[in-house]
Structure 1
Amino acid sequence: MCGIAGIFSFNQNETIDQNILKKMNDAQQHRGPNDEGYHFDTSIGLAHRRLSIIDLSGGHQPIYNETGDVVVVFNGEIYNFQSIADELKQLGHSFKTHSDTETIVHAWEEWGVKCVDHFNGMFVFAIWDNIKKELFIARDRIGEKPLHYAVTSENQLIFGSELKVLKQHPHCPSQIDPRAIEDYLTLGYIPDPKCIYKNVYKLEAGHYIHLKQGKDTEVITQEYWDLPWQETSYLDKTEVEEELIERLKKAVDLRLVSEVPLGAFLSGGVDSSAIVALMSQLQEQAATTCSIGFDVPEFNETDFAQIVADRYKTNHNVEVVDHEDFELINELTKVYDEPYADSSALPTYRVCEVARKHVTVCLSGDGGDEIFAGYRRYKLHLQEEKARSKIPYALRRPVFGTLGKLYPKADWAPQFLRAKTTFQSIGMSSSHAYLNSMSKLRADERQKLYSKSFKQKLKGYDSRAVFDEALAGKEFKDPLKMVQYLDFKTWMTGDILTKVDRASMAHALEVRVPMLDHTFVEWAFKTPSNLNLAKGEGKACLKKSLEPHLSEDNLYRKKMGFRIPLAQWLKGPLKEKLERVLFSDAIKAADIFDSKQLRKMFKQHQDGTSDHSAGLWTILMLGLFLEQELKK
């Protein structure tokens, strides 16, 4: 795993400032502590930081073709590089190394922009073709590896693996985008392609940038892959059960190639346990597994991880951490570069820290919930969808919209009386209802909190546009497939994969995700919804297929996940920190919130009349980011 950076001038024959690019590259040393490399030519500069995984002696980057006219810097892994290399050799290309990186150079020579269609992997790479005077930058289909980019006032394209890389450039845009704040307060992260700063972007998953020197004057991204949303479900129950394990095992096997120690995360949940089970069946030596436990039983899954470790005789490593792990909170602001509110980033950071003591590459079980409908919110959405389908939208919108406005936020009440969000959602379209149900702060809550001046800055924008844009031109007959699609286009890249990439790279740990193998995803996305969500059981077909490989305790116990006690934290040990940040000079200077409404929200949480933990944590992480900005 590595980091890349670059500067490309739209102005021909411009000299690239080498010191600036080196400073940009130094900012991502944590991503690649083993080596660094540069390529400079007229109007182009490329940089690389390397974490050595494959071809330890010959994988130094940048890597060139036979004549030195084509050069690449690359972050990620191409898992099928050996078969591609064999094909390219038969077509007349000669290789100097045994690295997957060189495969990209020759694939570009042979297939041009279509080279991405041949790769199975997680990647971001930048190719400069000095003969064609073309720059080509591509991101993997699912978005496992990140890329940020911007065009400066000096007409240069700057890009890098993390936002902190771009911020080293003296002309990187730095004005905060109000629309990004709106999206963040809704989702808890800033969705691609937006960034916290205006005119800074993230290259979207399954997209590329292709620029020709002297011809192109702006950056236009092109999509080369999407989920097979148009294809109807065709797999029956027998097909799923027969094929699922073999297909997943193939994806795991592809990710076992490494010249450094390799292991797996093991929480004891379905997905990580599945990866460990199949990994153990594919290799002769015992797998190395890593878990973290918490010092309170209700948050501790180590007993379930131990069941899998014992069954497959893994070299199991467990560390127990303090559930009140507050030291990390300020550190996360630096790790993620922009506001990021997924509180599971704290335990994710710690488990990466533990794993790096034992391995350099770690397999993860991420993706199972999104592919096979494991989240509780999917079940709730389908229940609401039944109500929406029975009442015309023209009637639903005014009746349930009014009920949603009038009904109090009754977090103190029994579950059956907490109907505010449900009333709101029934009065909305299906996609907007899903956004409402998973929002950190719902639209009505955000509007109450915003200051008058911030509302003016938004100019009518609201974060429903994120889902509207994702679904533009698409029509789903299956409401479950629609929300799974939305999660893949937004939540997966913006939250889950961002969390894992930054937390792992902070420790120079490479994480590979077998369930996000694009061929497996394409197959699994066509699984009928009634097999994924059966009799109220999420991931039903996956669990059934895994019964010969895992115990009932691992498969059918209640889902825990990486939880932390936010509500209690924000009333107790984090109360003072929360209050200080909410009413800090940084928050006031940003002029996003109405201070009276913010004070009311804080008080309601402390009094126990409302549980505002999700919203308050989201604002806390924004406030810490703004404090960091104010120190510049």
Structure 2
Amino acid sequence: MCGISGILNLKEKAPISPDQLRVMSFALKHRGPDEAGAYLDDYIGLAQSRLSIIDLSGGSQPIHNEDKSLWIIFNGEIFNYPELREELIKLGHKFYTHTDTEVILHLYEEKNEECLFYLNGQFAFAIWNSKKKELFLARDRTGILPLFFRLESDKFYFASELKAIFSIKNENPNFDPIGFEQIFTFWTNLPGDTPFKDYKEIPPAHFLKINFDGKFILKPYWQLQFKKENEIKDFPISEITDRASELLTDAVRIRLRADVPVGSYLSGGLDSSGLTTIVKKKFNNELRTFGISFEEESFDESSFQKLMVKSSSDKSFRSLC
């Protein structure tokens, strides 16, 4: 988990205040305690608070392409980045880091917004094209990583959390009655909305483009497809379970790619217990698990966490529950 933020001037060429970027970055420090980085020119300011997972020493952000015409800040992880990197090298792209962040940048350079079709991961990122004076932002298919924005007549603000934008606005945000009602109806806002007036969120599976002249595009790039009843094939249960097991195992495998130890949150439920078991049995017998207990008995699942750990015959399956 990292934090990204930025400010784009609209219609007027003027340097972004480094102090404002610093304040926004500090507001997201809890998301990225390892280091902070920034890029500024006469149109835009980009800031990133980094939690180092891949290429610990060489992956400082923002990251640029060969001629420094493109700059990226990124929150998340691209699980298929080694395969994508190999293909991009074959196409002639030059890398100066070993990060998944730089892979996104070169893929965008090659495919433009169609790069999103190739990314297997959880992400929110911003790419600045200094030649076109164009900012491109995108969010993963199911919206795992957040990305908020505010569009004004002369500026565009964005950040991983609203508090980063609030921190440089000399005003208290006003509640949006519709967005506020959604919280109490659905426990969360509908895609694109927030509880605050004039503050929006990029919906899952969407990208946003905005130019220096204020041209604005917010567009979906993917949606879940459901087959019609007459298109559904009747497969044996054994085939369905085998295929589901293969997909789960592969999904777990690529999520273990990291230059730091990987842990597992063990809630006590079926999903986390099943995924933790896959990691331990097939990939990593030194896995550390973590869990949370609650004083309120109806919410507490610590007994199931302990049962899960105890059921393992391998003593190296350690728990810090």
TM-score (norm 1): 0.48
Identical aligned residues as a percent: 37
Q: Contact 2:180–2:196 at 8 Å: present in 1 too? A: no
Q: Contact 1:62–1:71 at 8 Å: present in 2 too? A: yes
Q: Contact 2:142–2:205 at 8 Å: present in 1 too? A: yes
Offset at 1:171? 6.1
- Unaligned 5+ segments in structure 2 are none
- Give the aligned residue type for 1:136: F
Separation in 2, partners of 1:56, 1:71? 19
Aligned to 2:191: 192
Cα distance 1:207–1:299, how it changes in 2: closer, same or farther (>3 A)?
Answer: closer
Offset at 1:260? 1.7
Q: Secondary structure at the match of 1:59?
A: coil
> What CA deviation, in whole Å up to 9, does each residue of 1:35-84 have, x standing for no partner?
00010012111000001111100110000011111100000001111100
Aligned to 1:211: 210
Q: Decide which structure has the larger Cα Rg and report it.
A: 1
| 1:65 pairs with 2:62 | no
Aligned to 1:33: 33
Offset at 1:299? 4.5
- Give the aligned residue type for 1:289: T
Offset at 1:168? 1.6
Separation in 2, partners of 1:296, 1:22? 40
Offset at 1:133? 2.1
- Give the aligned residue type for 1:206: A
Offset at 1:307? 3.1
Aligned to 1:135: 135
Aligned length: 315
Separation in 1, partners of 2:44, 2:27? 19
> What CA deviation, in whole Å up to 9, does each residue of 1:176-213 have, x standing for no partner?
21111222221232222111221110110000001233
- Between Structure 1 and Structure 2, the one with more helix by share is 1
Aligned to 2:318: 315
The residue correspondences of 1:240-279 to structure 2 (distance < 5 A) are 240-279=240-279
Q: Contact 1:123–1:139 at 8 Å: present in 2 too? A: yes
Separation in 2, partners of 1:64, 1:51? 19
Separation in 1, partners of 2:295, 2:167? 40
Separation in 1, partners of 2:172, 2:198? 7
> What CA deviation, in whole Å up to 9, does each residue of 1:567-620 have, x standing for no partner?
xxxxxxxxxxxxxxxxxxxxxxxxxxxxxxxxxxxxxxxxxxxxxxxxxxxxxx
- Give the aligned residue type for 2:224: L
- Give the aligned residue type for 1:45: G
Cα distance 1:213–1:295, how it changes in 2: closer, same or farther (>3 A)?
Answer: closer
Aligned to 2:305: 305
Which has the larger displacement, 302-311 or 177-186?
302-311
- Give the aligned residue type for 1:229: F
Separation in 1, partners of 2:156, 2:226? 33
Separation in 1, partners of 2:217, 2:176? 20
Report the aligned-residue RMSD.
1.9
Separation in 1, partners of 2:74, 2:49? 9
Offset at 1:18? 2.0
Q: Contact 2:63–2:72 at 8 Å: present in 1 too? A: yes
- Give the aligned residue type for 2:16: I
Offset at 1:12? 4.2
Separation in 1, partners of 2:268, 2:175? 41
| 1:82 pairs with 2:79 | no
Q: Secondary structure at the match of 2:292?
A: strand
- For 2:220, which of 220, 223, 230 is the aligned residue? 223
The residue correspondences of 1:224-623 to structure 2 (distance < 5 A) are 224-230=221-227, 232-234=231-233, 236=235, 237-295=237-295, 299-312=299-312, 313=314, 314-318=317-321
TM-score (norm 2): 0.92
- Give the aligned residue type for 1:224: Y
Q: Secondary structure at the match of 1:8?
A: strand
Offset at 1:305? 2.2
Which has the larger displacement, 142-151 or 193-202?
193-202
Q: Secondary structure at the match of 1:24?
A: helix
Q: Contact 2:3–2:75 at 8 Å: present in 1 too? A: yes
- Unaligned 5+ segments in structure 1 are 319-632
Q: Where in structure 1 do 4 or more consecutive aligned residues deviate above 6 Å?
A: none
- Give the aligned residue type for 1:193: G
Q: Contact 2:78–2:119 at 8 Å: present in 1 too? A: yes
- Give the aligned residue type for 1:115: C
Offset at 1:296? 6.5
